[in-house]
Structure 1
């Protein structure tokens, strides 16, 4: 198959349910743009739809971010034109082409490549949400960051440090710990045993202001137990499975803790909010605060292999799929 194609799912299951199928390209409708994709970002949420953890209507095309070149625009589109390089957060990006609302498309500034944009759009905006929008991080804060060298974590650590925060990271191996330290983490806990006790020891018994937790089921209680009074538990991922129900009384017993489970699309639901987040993200990329750390590249047609690598914990930084 050499023409346009998409990777689709017709049933939940393992990576083998990802199927390459022909894509019928149609002219974009009013307010839409057709983009020929240069690169597609891989994210853990893609596996949640594949396995059924998050519901999807079949046939389903995974993918939530990408970058490419506009090929055509529909009526009423004024913010982009054919030939523009754009990045975006939109659905169904596991394909050679994507038709998206033009309002979702962000022209890429000079110095930000399409591969870099595809690697960081969803993950970078998630990091922006976590650091700037939920409980804004201030100079002197101490953060606990799980999975510090993953797609989001590899952006969270240096960005938080640039804001004047101290980052204590939790990861699974000494190799990943070294990468977390290079990114700016002041301390790294290796392994998931006795995390809260180690955090308290590192903070003279106080705990952290905010726990940014993408691991989920096996890490939630450790995150809660690592917090200061009135600290924030921000659960934004389920790498180990969904978090078990937490009683409000547990939050009170921990010292009037705050818990939230944010979704990015609630924070970029207007063009103004999307532009605000993307502006800070692109600025951080251009000034060197953030780098698009592309640890792995897979052909789009090998999306199943990319899912296997991601779920096995063998990836670092961002992973992109190349059509």
Structure 2
């Protein structure tokens, strides 16, 4: 029996509730692969699970995204072999671990040109942009859009993908440094929301037309301004809660502001089958292989420093992606 160090949460709360434990890892089931992990991606959803905003039965692990090498393959797995370099972004909770079993239909092989840290930083965030841009509201090119938190891990990928599609992305950011980073990654324009009126600036940039879609992963603090940036019959894609969940929604506001649409999508719905996962990953890796998307890893932490990593993420002290390293 092999053992693995992993992060365990026995009670919901602050970063201090995360413990490092050593637990046995059984042989993979028929539909699973066992992965020796090299890098783990951190995301805001991990914080939501730790605090209980997204509840899971206790005790539980954390994390949904990692990359590594296949060490063992279940009897029914056909698309992966021992030694394959792989990544996943939609596993059962528990990616903060050295070694683990993962359902094979959540796992994809990664190209040789993509490193483990890149893949760990790319899968969940890159697949999120894939479903936002290619499934939720399929951008055709030529649109002007708003994307909040443009200098974050998802935002920087969105800036690059938008540029590749010929889409003018108006990002929001909290500092001049973050605004410059978003521009360097392809944002058409960036609004510093600590100094500027976002809705007024969007109106100015679009010459009074506003935008057909706003992608909002921030949540509570940006809800109202996102609605004010939309054209009549525009769509607000509210896909995250970085500032807290949106509450007390008055549907009448949607009518008053122009018969607006709102959706609250999640990645899992868009990659629910093995084929959907493979198709979305192939679309993502095509952008990477074509040089359109490069992963910016702003911070690296060891597994034992995970509490420090969570604090940095929660306090908006990060840029680009954040990874836990295991080598």
Q: Same fold (TM over 0.5)?
A: yes
Q: Does 1:135 align with 2:114?
A: no
Q: Which residue among 278, 297, 304 is the counterpart of 2:307?
A: 304
Q: State the Cα distance separating 1:250 from its structure 2 match.
A: 1.3
- For 2:190 and 2:295, locate their aligned partners in 1 and report how far apart those are by CA, in whole Å: 22
Given that 2:105 and 2:273 are in contact with CA atoms closer than 8 Å, whether structure 1 keeps it comes out as no
Given that 2:71 and 2:82 are in contact with CA atoms closer than 8 Å, whether structure 1 keeps it comes out as yes
Q: Which residue among 222, 245, 249 is the counterpart of 2:248?
A: 245
- For 1:279 and 1:309, locate their aligned partners in 2 and report how far apart those are by CA, in whole Å: 32
Q: State the Cα distance separating 1:22 from its structure 2 match.
A: 0.4
Q: Which residue among 125, 128, 131 is the counterpart of 2:127?
A: 125
Given that 2:4 and 2:100 are in contact with CA atoms closer than 8 Å, whether structure 1 keeps it comes out as no
Tell me the residue number matched to 1:63: 63
Tell me the residue number matched to 2:8: 8
Q: State the Cα distance separating 1:266 from its structure 2 match.
A: 0.3
Map 1:208-223; keep pairs closer than 5 Å: 208-223=211-226
Q: Does 1:42 align with 2:42?
A: yes
Tell me the residue number matched to 1:322: 325
- For 1:161 and 1:143, locate their aligned partners in 2 and report how far apart those are by CA, in whole Å: 12
Map Cα deviations across residues 113-145 of structure 1 (whole Å, 9 max, x no partner).
111110110010000010000010121111101
Map 1:167-316; keep pairs closer than 5 Å: 167-192=169-194, 194-316=197-319
Q: State the Cα distance separating 1:244 from its structure 2 match.
A: 2.1
Tell me the residue number matched to 2:167: 165
* SS state at 1:152 partner: helix
Structure 1 residue runs without a partner (length 5+): none
- For 1:306 and 1:286, locate their aligned partners in 2 and report how far apart those are by CA, in whole Å: 29
Task: Using the TM superposition, name which of 247-256 and 277-286 deviates more.
Answer: 247-256
Q: Which residue among 83, 103, 106 is the counterpart of 2:105?
A: 103
Query: TM-score, normalised on structure 2?
Result: 0.96
Map Cα deviations across residues 47-75 of structure 1 (whole Å, 9 max, x no partner).
00111111111111010111100011122
* SS state at 1:60 partner: coil
Map Cα deviations across residues 78-109 of structure 1 (whole Å, 9 max, x no partner).
11111111011212100001201112111111
Q: State the Cα distance separating 1:259 from its structure 2 match.
A: 0.3
Structure 2 residue runs without a partner (length 5+): none
- For 1:74 and 1:262, locate their aligned partners in 2 and report how far apart those are by CA, in whole Å: 32
Query: TM-score, normalised on structure 1?
Result: 0.97
**Alignment RMSD, CA only?**
1.3
- For 1:309 and 1:140, locate their aligned partners in 2 and report how far apart those are by CA, in whole Å: 36
Given that 2:217 and 2:241 are in contact with CA atoms closer than 8 Å, whether structure 1 keeps it comes out as yes
- For 1:107 and 1:144, locate their aligned partners in 2 and report how far apart those are by CA, in whole Å: 32
- For 2:246 and 2:57, locate their aligned partners in 1 and report how far apart those are by CA, in whole Å: 24
- For 2:289 and 2:249, locate their aligned partners in 1 and report how far apart those are by CA, in whole Å: 41
- For 1:145 and 1:247, locate their aligned partners in 2 and report how far apart those are by CA, in whole Å: 23
- For 1:211 and 1:164, locate their aligned partners in 2 and report how far apart those are by CA, in whole Å: 17
- For 1:157 and 1:232, locate their aligned partners in 2 and report how far apart those are by CA, in whole Å: 19
* SS state at 1:38 partner: strand
Q: State the Cα distance separating 1:194 from its structure 2 match.
A: 2.2
- For 1:33 and 1:133, locate their aligned partners in 2 and report how far apart those are by CA, in whole Å: 28
